[in-house]
Structure 1
Amino acid sequence: MKIFKFGGASIKDAEGVKNITHILQSEGIENTTVVISAMGKNTNAFEEVIDAYYNKTDKLSEKLGIVEDFHKNLMKGLFDEKDTIYKEIDILLGELSWFLARNTSQRFNYVYDQIICFGELLSTKIVSAYLTKIGIENNWFDVRNYIKTDSNYRDAKVDWDLTQDIISNKLDASKLNITQGFIAANDTENTTTLGREGSDYTASIFAYCLDAENVTIWKDVPGVLNADPRVFEQTTLLEQISYEEAIEMAFYGASVIHPKTLQPLERKGIPLLVRSFINSKETGTNVTKGIRLVPFIPCFIVKKNQILVSISALDFSFMVENNISYIFQKLHEYQLKVNLIQNSALSFSVCIDNKFDNFDAFYNELKKEFKIEVQKEVDLYTVRHFDNKAIASIEVKGKSLLTQVNKETIQIVLGTN
C-alpha cells in the first residue's frame, strides 16, 4: 500500500497532469492512494475570490472568471470538447456560485474553508477524468467523507478514532484512488481545512489509517535540501533524515515537510520519501528511523516577513511567570505563531508569524498593560548543526536584531541593513 501526494506545482498545466500519469504508470497503480492539491497557484487565486466576496468588492466576477478560465484552458490540452468532464467542472463551479449566493455567515474562517476547497475538488476531478480517458481505471472520492475533524476552521484537528474507522471500513485500498489534500469535514458536514500546506498531512493521515508501506511527496526539487534554493545559491541534497531530525526541521519552519505530517508516520514507522516529479527516477530523500542526517551538514531554514515584539512592564518590574503566561494566552487567542522566544529580567521578546492578520488587535490589547516595541518585516534564520562559516553566511544578509543559541541550533533575527 502506497500513498502519493502531488502538489500544485506538479499539475500547473496539461503537461504536468500527463507527467504524473507517467509516474503512476512507472511506479505501479495498484494499492495506491493519490492525494492531490489545487492546481498551480489556485489556492492563491481562490483566496482572491474569498477576499473579493467577503469584503464585497466589485472584483468578484473577475476573480471567479480567472479560476474558471485557468481550469478550462488547462483542460483543452487533455480532453475533447464533448468529454463529460466539462459538465462535471461546470457543476462544481455552479456549487461554488450557489454558496456565494446563499451564504449568510459573517465568520471569515468558515467562509474561507467553504470556498477554498473547490481548488482541490476541481484538480482531482480533472486528474481522475484524464486517467480514465487514457485507460487507467481509478476511483475518485471526496475526502470530506473520510477525514473528520472538529470545527476549528482553517486549522482543524482530526478526529482520529472516527477517521480511522471510516477509512478502514469504507476505502478499497487495493485500487488506484484519487482524492483531495488539505480539506476535511466536521460533524455537520461543513468543509474544514487542515492548515496551509495541509495536503502533506492528508497523505500522512491515510498512511497511518491504512498502515501504508510508505508515503511519497512529489516535489519540484530533488528532495529535502539543506537550504531553500530560492534564498541560497549552493544547496545539498539530504539523502537520509531521521524522524527526530525532520520534526525538528519542520518545527523551525522547513517548507518541504509540513510540521504535522511527521508524527503519525513516526508512530507507525512509515517511511516518508521526498522525490522529484521532474526527475522521477532519482531516489530523493528518505525520512525514517536511523541516522539523523546524511550528509551531516548545516541546514538553513528561513521565515520571511516576521514580527519581532519586545514586551516589558510599564512599571519596570520583572517579567515573571504570571506576565508571561498572560502574554502566551493572548498569543494563542489571536492565533499568532511563535517562532522564537527570549526573555530577560525586564523584557520578553517573541518573533511571530502573523498569518491570520490578527497582530494589530493583539497589540492594541496588550499596550494597555505593557510597553511594546515592534519591528515588522524581519527575517528569522534558523541553522541546525551550525558552524562558524554558517553563522557568517547569515550575518552578512542584514542587521542582527536578536540571536539565540543552543547546543545544535542557532536562530538569528535580521532586519534590513
Structure 2
Amino acid sequence: MRIYKFGGASVKDAAGVRNVLKVLQTMGYENLGIVVSAMGKTTNDLEDIIYSYQKNDPAYLDLIDNLHHKHEQIIEGLEMPVEGIEELCLSRFRESGIKKDIKSIMESLKGEMLRNQSRNYSFLYDQVVSHGELLSTKIVAAFFNACGIPVLWKDARQLIKTDRKYRDAGVNWLESEKLIANSCQGQLFITQGFIGSDDNGFTTTLGREGSDYTAAILAYCLNGSGVTIWKDVPGVLNADPRVFEQTVLLNKIPYNEAIELAFYGASVIHPKTLQPLQGKEIPLYVKSFIHPRNEGTVITAVETIEPLTPCYIVRKNMVFLKMSSRDFSVIGENNISDIFQELSSHKMQVGLIQNSAISFSLCVEDKYAKINELLKDLELRYKVSHVEGVALYTVRHYDGDAIEFIESGKSVLLKQRAQETLQLVVKE
C-alpha cells in the first residue's frame, strides 16, 4: 500500500479539494491510504476558540459558528459547476448529506466545550483542535465518493492508540499496528492526520508535524511501499527560496541526512516521521500537488544527497549567549549540566554550542519570551553577555565558495566548523 498526505494548504478551499481529486486521478488510487490535515488555517481558528473559552468569553460560540460558516462556504464552492467536474459528481455531492455531517461535528464541538470540566489545557486542546481534521476529511471523502473515487472514511482515533501525554502523545505501536492492519489493509481509505486516542477513548494529538507522522505510522503498520507528502513546492530544496535567491532541488536524500537537516532547523521532514520509515526502509517522497508527475524528492536509503551541494539553513531572531565563571575558574561538566538545566526550565531551544576552558557560548531560540528570566537566573552564578536578534546560519556539505558566500557582508560573532557542517552566528 501507498500513503498520501495532503496538508492544510492543499485543501484550503474548494479549488484545492478539486486539485487533490485531480492528483488522485492523475497518479492512480489503488491500494492507497490518504491522510488529510485541517483546511487552511482551521487549527489557528480552533486555538482562538480555546483562548476565548478559557477567558470565559461567550464569544467562543460565535467563533465556532464562524468556523462552521467557513466550511459551509467550501462545500458550496464544491457544489458550483467548474470545467473538468461532471454535473453527476456535483449532483451526488449535493445529495451526500455533507452539510448535515458538518453541522453535527460543530454541534458536538459546542457540546464538548459546554460540558468540559477539565482545567488541563493540553487535554482541552486535543479535544477541541482535533475537530479540524474531522471536518476536512468528511468534506474531502464526500467529494471523492461523489466523483467516482470510492473512498472509506476512517476515524484515526480508532486506528492510532497512544499514551495520555496530550499535545505530544506517544504511540502504542503494538495496538496501533493490529488495529490499522485489520481495518485498512488493501482498502482505499481517508483518515485524519495529527490525531489518535488514549486507552480511555479521549482524543490525543501527536505534536509537531503530526499529520506527516500519521502517514509514517500508517505506512509502517501496513508495510507500505512509500509515503508521499504533497506540497506547494517542487520538493526539498537546498535552501529556503524566501531567503536565498538561487536554490537547487535535491533529488535524493539519505534518511540520516534528512534528520540532520531537520535538527539544524530546515523545514524538511520532522525526525519522528522519518524514524519508523527508516526502520523498514520505506521511501518518503516530497512532491508538488501542482505538478504531480514531476519527480520531486525522495528520502531513502542512499549514501549521500543527490546532487551533492551545500545546503543552507537560517534561523533568525535567535539570542547569542556567552558565559564565564565569576572567579575565572574552568567551565566544567557540573557548570555545563547546571546551564542546561536552566535552559530546559526556561524552554530554550539550542541551535549551537561552543565551549572553551573558561567560557561557554550558545545560540538559543527564545520561543516563549523567557530570555530575561533566564539571564536573571544565570547571572546569579556566571558572568553573562548576550546579543538578541542574531541569525544562525548552518551550511551542510560546505565548500570554499559556500563559506565565502555565507560570510560575505556579515558581522560574524561566532564561527564553528566540523567535517560536514559550518555554523555562523551573525549580527543582522
Q: So what's the TM-score if we normalise by structure 1? A: 0.91
Q: Is 2:321 the partner of 1:321?
A: no
Q: What is the one-letter code of the residue matched to 1:36?
A: V
Identify which of 154, 173, 197 aligns with 1:185.
197
2:419 match? 407
**Structure of larger gyration radius:** 2
Q: What is the one-letter code of the residue matched to 1:213?
A: S
1:24 match? 24
2:268 match? 256
Q: Is 2:181 the partner of 1:162?
A: no
> What do the CA deviations read for 1:73-124 (whole angstroms, capped 9, x no partner)?
1111114666411121112112222233232333333332222212211111
Q: Is 2:118 the partner of 1:101?
A: no
Between the aligned partners of 1:191 and 1:371, the Cα distance in structure 2 is 47
1:24-103 alignment to 2 at 5 Å? 24-56=24-56, 60-61=60-61, 63-79=63-79, 83-103=96-116
Q: Are the counterparts in 2 of residues 29 and 175 from structure 1 also a CA contact under 8 Å?
A: no
The structural deviation recorded for 1:292 is 0.8
1:379 match? 391
Between the aligned partners of 2:49 and 2:318, the Cα distance in structure 1 is 26
1:115 match? 128
Q: What is the one-letter code of the residue matched to 1:299?
A: C
The structural deviation recorded for 1:249 is 1.2
Between the aligned partners of 1:356 and 1:154, the Cα distance in structure 2 is 17
> What do the CA deviations read for 1:337-374 (whole angstroms, capped 9, x no partner)?
32222222233233233445565655555444444444
The structural deviation recorded for 1:204 is 0.8
Structure 1 unaligned blocks of 5 or more: none
The structural deviation recorded for 1:133 is 1.8
Q: What is the one-letter code of the residue matched to 2:154?
A: F
Between the aligned partners of 1:193 and 1:364, the Cα distance in structure 2 is 35
Q: Are the counterparts in 1 of residues 5 and 35 from structure 2 also a CA contact under 8 Å?
A: yes
Q: Are the counterparts in 1 of residues 34 and 189 from structure 2 also a CA contact under 8 Å?
A: yes
Alpha carbons of structure 1 residues 311 and 274: separation in structure 2 relative to 1, 3 Å:
same
Between the aligned partners of 1:14 and 1:288, the Cα distance in structure 2 is 34
Q: Are the counterparts in 2 of residues 3 and 34 from structure 1 also a CA contact under 8 Å?
A: yes
1:142 match? 155
Q: Are the counterparts in 1 of residues 259 and 270 from structure 2 also a CA contact under 8 Å?
A: no
Alpha carbons of structure 1 residues 19 and 303: separation in structure 2 relative to 1, 3 Å:
same
Alpha carbons of structure 1 residues 397 and 202: separation in structure 2 relative to 1, 3 Å:
farther
Structure 2 unaligned blocks of 5 or more: 80-92
Alpha carbons of structure 1 residues 15 and 202: separation in structure 2 relative to 1, 3 Å:
same
Between the aligned partners of 1:412 and 1:373, the Cα distance in structure 2 is 18
> What do the CA deviations read for 1:203-247 (whole angstroms, capped 9, x no partner)?
111111111001111111111111111111111111111122222
Between the aligned partners of 1:125 and 1:335, the Cα distance in structure 2 is 37
Between the aligned partners of 1:313 and 1:189, the Cα distance in structure 2 is 52
Alpha carbons of structure 1 residues 383 and 184: separation in structure 2 relative to 1, 3 Å:
same
1:353-372 alignment to 2 at 5 Å? 353-355=365-367, 362-363=374-375, 365-372=377-384
Q: Are the counterparts in 2 of residues 32 and 173 from structure 1 also a CA contact under 8 Å?
A: no
> What do the CA deviations read for 1:307-362 (whole angstroms, capped 9, x no partner)?
33334444443221112123323434454332222222233233233445565655
1:294 match? 306
The structural deviation recorded for 1:57 is 5.4
Stretches (4+) displaced over 6 A: none
Q: Is 2:245 the partner of 1:233?
A: yes
The structural deviation recorded for 1:176 is 1.2
2:86 match? none
Q: What is the one-letter code of the residue matched to 2:14?
A: A
1:131 match? 144
Percent of paired sites with the same residue: 49
Between the aligned partners of 1:148 and 1:306, the Cα distance in structure 2 is 37
Q: For this pair of structures, how many residues does the alignment match?
A: 415
> What do the CA deviations read for 1:380-403 (whole angstroms, capped 9, x no partner)?
221111123323333347533322
Q: Are the counterparts in 1 of residues 64 and 106 from structure 2 also a CA contact under 8 Å?
A: no
1:345 match? 357
Secondary structure at the counterpart of residue 233 of structure 1: coil
The structural deviation recorded for 1:130 is 0.9
Between the aligned partners of 1:216 and 1:271, the Cα distance in structure 2 is 9
Q: CA RMSD of the aligned region, Å?
A: 2.4
The structural deviation recorded for 1:408 is 0.8
Q: Are the counterparts in 2 of residues 244 and 292 from structure 1 also a CA contact under 8 Å?
A: no
Between the aligned partners of 2:248 and 2:279, the Cα distance in structure 1 is 28
Alpha carbons of structure 1 residues 413 and 66: separation in structure 2 relative to 1, 3 Å:
farther
Q: Which moved more, 1:243-252 or 1:187-196?
A: 187-196
Between the aligned partners of 2:409 and 2:210, the Cα distance in structure 1 is 31
Alpha carbons of structure 1 residues 362 and 9: separation in structure 2 relative to 1, 3 Å:
same
Between the aligned partners of 1:369 and 1:105, the Cα distance in structure 2 is 40
